[in-house]
Chain A
C-alpha cells in the first residue's frame, strides 16, 4: 500500500474531499469547460484576468476523480496572482513532472504542485492531473470550444 500512497498523498485526498475555490464566482471574465471522456471527468475553470495579464482570481466547478479534483483545487491556489506568462511556464514544468520523458526533477520549483509527482507512475491517470490545466490554458486563450483529453 506504500506505493499507492505516493499517488494519493494526504494533500490530494484533502483537496479532493474539500476542494478550494470551488463554485461559480460572479466576477470572472474568462471561462472554459473541459471533459475527459475516459472517466467522465468534467471541469469548468473561471478566471478573472486583469488588463495587464495577471490572474487575479481563479475558481472551478465540476465533478471528477480525486486526482482531477485535487489538481483543479490546488492549481487555483497556486496560480492566483501570477501572470499569464508565469502560468504557462508552470504548466510546462508540471507537465514535464507528470508526463515528461527521461529523468525529471521531482517537482522542483513547483511548490505544492509537487504532490502530483506520483502521477508519473500511472500513465492512465496523467490526463486526470492535467485536465484542469488544459482547460485553464484554453480559457486564457479565449477559445470557446470545450477541451477534451482525447
Chain B
C-alpha cells in the first residue's frame, strides 16, 4: 500500500465535498498503482480523522475503566463514555438516554433482544415475523429463538424489484405474532423499506417491533419516536465510527421489565453467593468492561455526521446513486439486481457469464473496491436466483469520478472475459 498525497479531486459538482474526503486518511492511497476508489461502505465505512483522534486521545490521555474508580482518569473516561449515550439519544431522537445500550454491534443488539424479551414473549405456537430481505444478523437469532421455543418464523415476501410485499400485512401479523423484526434499508440491494407501515400494523396487533437500522443510520435521519418502534439497532462502523461498537435503543418501559442477558461486572448492584441484584437500565445490559474507546469513537462519528448534515449527505448520495444506475444500465451484459421504489446508497448487479468473485479480483487491480458475494443475505440471493452479486455502495466521501472508475473497471472485467 503506497500512501500518496491527496490529489485534488476533479469532481466539479462536488468540489465543496473535497475537504470532507480529505478527512479520511485511509482513502489517500493507491491500490496496485491506482488511486483507491472505495465502494464498499455498506460493509464498513472509512473513518474520518476526528474519529481516529477521539479513539487515540482516550488511550493517550484518559485510559482507564469506566464506573469503577474515584481517580481522575476513571472519572474522565466515565464522563466521556456516558456523554456519548446522551449524544446518541439525541441523534436518533430518543427521549431518554437511558434507552441507549452499548453493544458490540447490530448483531449483538438483535441477539440481546431475542434472548431477553424474545424468550419471554415468544412461546410454543407463536410467530416471529421478518422479511426475505434481511441480513443474516436479523434472521439467525430469530430462527434460533423459534427453534428453542417451538415458534414459527414467518417471512414477508418481496417483489422481483426488491420491494417488500406489504399488501397482506394484516394477515401476516396475527394474534400469535409476538415479534416483528425488519431491516430499515437492505444491505444487498439498497431498498428503503416502508417500516413505518409495518411498525404501525405490528403495534396495533400487540407485537414487539425491532428495526435493524445498520444500513440506514449513516444515510438518513432517524427518529425513534416518530417511527414508533420498540427497539432499533445499528453499528458504529457503518457510520464512520470504530468497529466492535454498536447500539441497541429500546423503549425504556420495556427495558425496565426485561431481565439481563449476560451476567458479570458493571451490570450488578449487589452480589452475594445467594443472589445478585441488578443495576438499572441501561447498565443492566452492559456486563463487563465495554469497548470504551469504541463508544468514544462513536460519539465523534455522530459529531461528524451532524457537522456534515443529512441535508448535504442525502442529496449527494442520491446523485451518486442515480449516476450509477444510469451508467450501469448503459452497459451490455450487466443486470442490476433489484429496482426498488426507494433506494439508498447500494447498487447490486451481476455480469453475464462472469462470476462476481472474478470481477472483484479484476476490479481490485484497478483500485476499485467493491463487495462480491452473498452479502450475508443468502435467502435473498435465492429469491433472485443468483449465488452472489457485485455490490457498489456509497458514503459521503465518494465522488462522481468514483462512478466513472467503477464503470471503467467493469469494462475491463468484460474485456478479460470476452
Contacts and interface: CB of A to CB of B under 8 A. Distances in A.
20 contacts: A1-B415, A3-B32, A3-B365, A8-B416, A13-B417, A40-B374, A40-B381, A40-B387, A63-B387, A64-B355, A65-B355, A65-B357, A66-B354, A66-B355, A66-B358, A66-B417, A67-B357, A67-B358, A125-B357, A125-B361
Interface residues of A, number: 21
Contacts of A63: 387
Q: What bracket does the count of chain B residues touching chain A fall in?
A: 20 to 34
Interface of A: 1, 3-5, 7-8, 13, 17, 38-41, 63-67, 122, 124-125, 128
Contacts of B32: 3
Interface of B: 32, 353-358, 361-362, 365, 372-374, 381, 387-388, 412, 415-417
Contacts of B357: 39, 41, 65, 67, 125, 128
B362 A39 contact: no
A64 B357 CA distance: 9
A4 B365 contact: yes
Contacts of B387: 40, 63
Main secondary structure of the interface of B (DSSP, over half): helix
Contacts of B362: 4, 8
A63 B412 CA distance: 23
Given A8-B416, A17-B353, A66-B355, 18 more contacts: A1-B412, A4-B365, A5-B416, A7-B361, A8-B417, A13-B417, A38-B373, A39-B355, A39-B356, A39-B357, A39-B373, A39-B388, A65-B355, A65-B357, A67-B358, A122-B361, A124-B361, A128-B357
B99 to A, nearest CB: 36
A21 B320 CA distance: 45
B365 A40 contact: no
Contacts of B365: 1, 3-4
Nearest to B355: A65
B188 to A, nearest CB: 13
